[in-house]
Structure 1
Amino acid sequence: MTQPQHLRADYRYFQPITTRWHDNDLYGHVNNVVYYGFFDSAVNTYLIERGGLDIHEGGVVGFVVSSSCDYFASIAFPDRIEVGLRVGKLGNSSVQYELAIFKQGEGEACAAGRFVHVFVDRDSNRPMAIPEPLRAALTELLVTG
């Protein structure tokens, strides 16, 4: 089965990350669970810096309700990577992120994944409309087609 290509040009935002010594597992590559941490860090950095998300005292919280990742090539410490980010779907209270891991400067992804945030009221934990500053930042990453 042929995997679809995930190319750098298909993503709208990139978050650089340096792998760490303890990211490697006994097989000598970054363990699969670490990729989810890379995804989470890229998304939340974007939401804080570009969308004004206040993770400590803001009234809205993003809960991850679904996630997946496909792996195409391994990475290992001390690789420098970049997480590509785009938005595939933007709803009233939810967003589906599409992400890819690229070795620094390379055009084809080593891994690609997705996850869904549902934005909820911090106090009630009930879904709420995505606040306008966050929606505007997410709209900048929205891809169509």
Structure 2
Amino acid sequence: MPQPQHLRADYRHFQPVTTRWHDNDLYGHVNNVVYYSYFDSAVNTFLIERGGLDIHAGQVVGFVVSSSCDYFASIAFPERIEVGLRVARLGNSSVQYELAVFKGGEDEACAAGRFVHVFVDRQSNRPVPIPDTLRAALEGLLVG
């Protein structure tokens, strides 16, 4: 069954990532679990830099409650990549991100995934509405 295309033009924000030596596995390519760290780093960098998320002392934190990834082509150290980011769904306390990994200069993704953040109160771990500054940043990534 053919995989759907995930094209660079379909994403709203790009986070550059430098692969690391230890990202490669024994097969000579980036191991599948490492893609999740790329996704997490791209999203959290965006939330910190554009949404004002205070990961150390803020009252609200984002918990990943669901994630998945599909792989189309290998990447390996020392490639420079970019993680494309967009928001598919923005709820009251949750957001569903869609992400894709692109080799530098390429239009088709090597991998594409999604994950869901639920924003919670740091003390109670109970869901809370997404703070206004974060919501405004996320709305800029919203598609469809």
Please indicate the TM-score interval, normalised by the length of the shorter structure: over 0.9
Q: Counterparts of 2:128 and 2:104 in 1: how far apart (Å)?
A: 37
Aligned-partner residue type, residue 61 of structure 2: V
Could you say which residue in structure 1 is the equivalent of 2:122? 122
Q: Counterparts of 1:2 and 1:91 in 2: how far apart (Å)?
A: 31
Q: Counterparts of 1:121 and 1:142 in 2: how far apart (Å)?
A: 24
Kindly provide the CA deviation profile for residues 53-77 of structure 1, in whole angstroms up to 9, marking residues without a partner as x: 0000000000000000000000000
- Normalising by structure 1, we get a TM-score of 0.99
Q: Kindly report the root-mean-square deviation, in angstroms, between the aligned alpha carbons of the 2 structures.
A: 0.3
Could you say which residue in structure 1 is the equivalent of 2:93? 93
Aligned-partner residue type, residue 60 of structure 1: V
Instruction: Work out the number of aligned pairs and report it.
Output: 144
Where do residues 7-26 of structure 1 align in structure 2 (5 Å cutoff)?
A: 7-26=7-26
The unaligned stretches of length 5 or more in structure 2 are none
Q: Percent identity?
A: 85
Moved over 2 A (4+): none
Kindly provide the CA deviation profile for residues 57-115 of structure 1, in whole angstroms up to 9, marking residues without a partner as x: 00000000000000000000000000000000000000000000000110000000000
Q: Report the Cα offset of residue 24 of structure 1.
A: 0.2
Could you say which residue in structure 2 is the equivalent of 1:78? 78
Could you say which residue in structure 2 is the equivalent of 1:35? 35
Kindly provide the CA deviation profile for residues 31-61 of structure 1, in whole angstroms up to 9, marking residues without a partner as x: 0000000000000000000000000000000
Aligned-partner residue type, residue 136 of structure 1: A
Q: Counterparts of 2:20 and 2:131 in 1: how far apart (Å)?
A: 34
- Normalising by structure 2, we get a TM-score of 1.00
Aligned-partner residue type, residue 120 of structure 1: V
| SS in structure 2 of the partner of residue 107 of structure 1 | coil
Q: Report the Cα offset of residue 124 of structure 1.
A: 0.5
The unaligned stretches of length 5 or more in structure 1 are none
Q: Counterparts of 1:78 and 1:116 in 2: how far apart (Å)?
A: 29
Q: Counterparts of 2:101 and 2:92 in 1: how far apart (Å)?
A: 28
